[in-house]
Structure 1
Amino acid sequence: MNVKDLMELVVKTVDDKRAENIAVLDMEGISLVADYFVICHGNSEKQVQAISKELKDVALENDIQLRRMEGYDHARWVLIDLGNVVVHVFHRDDRSYYNLEKLWGDANSVDVDAILAPQENM
């Protein structure tokens, strides 16, 4: 699976768990850490954990290496490292405090709506 397909799988997975305000930053040429950051939030600790667990399960089902998952127990900011895609699942109350979108303001945004739009039959 190429990195763009992985990023799109992540976006669809967090959307399936009703993650809020999904944002994707194209980090290529800006950060050596990853090609994409996917940022979203849940409205409770349980939802943050559900989103994170679903991502872990989907990664395992698709033979995607889960390099690291940090913050799951506290469920305030869970970082999931999938290699070239790093996912940040925040609790609603903490997302604006860290404001990663502003911190990485030089990065281009990816159109999440286009990723989530239903595909038309060809």
Structure 2
Amino acid sequence: MGNKEILQIVAEACDDKRAEDIVALDMNEVSLVADYFLICHGSNERQVQAISRGIKDAMDERDIAVKRMEGFEQSRWILVDLGDIVCHIFHKDERNYYNLERLWGDAVRVPLQIGQEG
């Protein structure tokens, strides 16, 4: 399974937990950290935890390893490391403060197919 397919599955898992403002960035030309960043937020700590659990469950179903998950206890900014894909799940207040989309403004946004009925 390719990274773009995994990115799409992660985005769908976030959407299933009602994550807001889901954005995927192609990091290939701007960073050596990962190929893709997926950024989203939840409105409270419980939702932020649910989104991160949803990603982990979706990866477990497909035998894709989650290399690391950080920030779960505080649930203000949870980082889910899938290797080539790094997911940043913010509490809405922290997302506005850190503004990763602006920080990595040179990265190209990746279109996602989420939130569509039918």
For the aligned pair, the TM-score class normalised by the smaller chain equals: over 0.9
Query: Percent of aligned positions with the same letter in both sequences?
Result: 53
Secondary structure of the equivalent of 1:89? strand
Q: CA deviation at 1:93?
A: 1.0
Q: Deviations over 1:36-78 (max 9, x none)?
A: 1000000000000000011111111111111100000000000
Secondary structure of the equivalent of 1:41? strand
Q: CA deviation at 1:29?
A: 2.0
Q: CA deviation at 1:117?
A: 6.2
Q: Distance in 2 between matches of 1:117 and 1:17?
A: 11
Give the equivalent residue in structure 2 for 1:16. Answer: 16
Give the equivalent residue in structure 2 for 1:65. Answer: 65
Contact 2:15-2:115 at 8 Å conserved across structures: no
Give the equivalent residue in structure 2 for 1:116. Answer: 114
Give the equivalent residue in structure 2 for 1:86. Answer: 86
Aligned residues: 118
Query: What TM-score do the two structures reach when normalised by structure 1?
Result: 0.92
Which consecutive residues of structure 1, in runs of 5 or more, have no partner in the other structure?
Answer: none
Q: Distance in 1 between matches of 2:44 and 2:117?
A: 31
Which consecutive residues of structure 2, in runs of 5 or more, have no partner in the other structure?
Answer: none
Root mean square deviation, CA, Å:
1.4
> Does the alignment pair 1:35 with 2:35?
yes
Give the equivalent residue in structure 2 for 1:103. Answer: 103
Opposite residue 61 of structure 1, the aligned amino acid is E
Q: Deviations over 1:82-118 (max 9, x none)?
A: 1111000000111011010000000011123xx1265
